[in-house]
Amino acid sequence: MSQTKIFKNHAQQPTSTPSRRMKKTLIAAVGIGMAVALSGCNEDTSSGTDKDTGAAESKAPSAGSSQSSAPASPSGDQPLFTGWQTQTSQKHHFRYDVPAKAEKWKILDEETALSYTDKNGQPIVVMTAAGNYREGGCASSPNPKAFGEAGKGQLATVGTTGGGKDGTLQENARNWAGNWGFAAYGGADHKPKIKVSEAKPWKQGGIEGYTATAQVTVTNRPSSCVPPKAVVHSVAQKLPDGTMHGWVIYADQGVPKALTDAQLKKIMSTVRSTGS
């Protein structure tokens, strides 16, 4: 899994992060020669990278994968599945669950922020209230500018982001899915090929927002540690103050122990508002 830069977010943004609520736009080549620019909505970062081609479908659940589903409207600060771990982002007003430690999931401190950086070392995407799946594997990265303590060979990472007011919820759901796929699986130097689905309504757990999926084909595989493909799912919600916030999970595909579509959807089924 790609490495990331990690730092502690002590209420204030890192000194390297530019002014808040800036509109982020960066043009990136995706698919086969197509380049599209859309604005991102993330007060935590200095720039964003969006990709847009045709709609993409997630892979069908594999045989033997978990088919359990959470209640239609999950709520509360207790895990919805027995033995799972709950993570909460008070800043971005999301709560969600991931499987138990015994299943190789690790919840990070809510204030620990993970980021990928541009050529100047500035973060282009940032998430907090995160969790990692299967740390400790190969740490070779398809994005040479991704580095830091968080790069421990994990096969999936989940967390929250956002805080700005630019664009619509639909645009931001698609931007977050595309941005994280771009940053985590190649970046500007080794642009992955990305297809971002149209945003679809998401009504669950006190959230009335949108969700989008990015399918990623990795173009830079310096070793077998780097997956050939990846998938990113996002959920976007708007708070009463007009700010938009996102929940994102990105996961390696096509490698041993990779999360199945059913497992990813089960985690997504736990996403809910903090209600505050």
Evaluate the CA torsion angle 98, 99, 100, 101 in order and state its sign.
negative
Q: What share of the chain in percent tops pLDDT 70?
A: 67
Predicted local distance difference test score (pLDDT) of residue 121? 85
Taking alpha carbons only, the member of 265, 183, 193 closest to residue 2 is 183
246: exposed, middle or buried (Cβ count in 10 Å: 0-12, 13-18, 19+):
buried
The CA distance from 109 to 149, in Å, is 14
| Averaged pLDDT of the chain | 76
Whole-number Cα distances in Å, 8 to 55, 128, 218: 36, 9, 29
Is the pLDDT assigned to residue 219 strictly greater than 90? yes
- The average pLDDT across 115-128 equals 88
The CA distance from 263 to 269, in Å, is 10
- What residues form DSSP beta bridges with 230? 216, 252
Predicted local distance difference test score (pLDDT) of residue 60? 29
Is the pLDDT assigned to residue 2 strictly greater than 60? no
What are the pLDDT digits (tens) for 222-268?
888 889 999 999 999 999 999 999 999 999 999 999 999 999 999 99
Alpha helices (H) in 39-81, listed in sequence order: none
189: exposed, middle or buried (Cβ count in 10 Å: 0-12, 13-18, 19+):
exposed
- Token digits for 212? 């989008």
Indicate the residue type of 103. Answer: E
What are the pLDDT digits (tens) for 158-178?
999 999 999 999 999 999 999
Is the pLDDT assigned to residue 29 strictly greater than 70? no
Whole-number Cα distances in Å, 23 to 45, 166, 179: 9, 6, 14
Residue 37, Cα to own-chain centre: how many angstroms?
A: 19
Predicted local distance difference test score (pLDDT) of residue 273? 96
Residue 18: band (very low, low, confident or very high) from pLDDT cuts 50, 70, 90: very low
- The average pLDDT across 89-95 equals 97
Backbone angles phi, psi at 119, to 5 degrees: -65, -20
List, in order of start, the domains of the chain with CATH numbers: 86-273 (3.40.1000)
- Token digits for 200? 């679809």
What are the pLDDT digits (tens) for 176-214?
999 999 999 988 888 999 999 999 999 999 999 999 999
Going by C-beta distance under 8 Å and a sequence separation of 6 or more, which residues neighbour residue 235? 94, 173, 202, 207, 209, 210, 211, 246, 247, 248, 268, 271
The CA distance from 223 to 4, in Å, is 17
Predicted local distance difference test score (pLDDT) of residue 44? 58
Which residue, chain included where needed, has tokens 């945003």?
199
The CA distance from 139 to 58, in Å, is 25
Predicted local distance difference test score (pLDDT) of residue 87? 98
Residue 220: band (very low, low, confident or very high) from pLDDT cuts 50, 70, 90: confident
What are the pLDDT digits (tens) for 151-160?
457 899 999 9
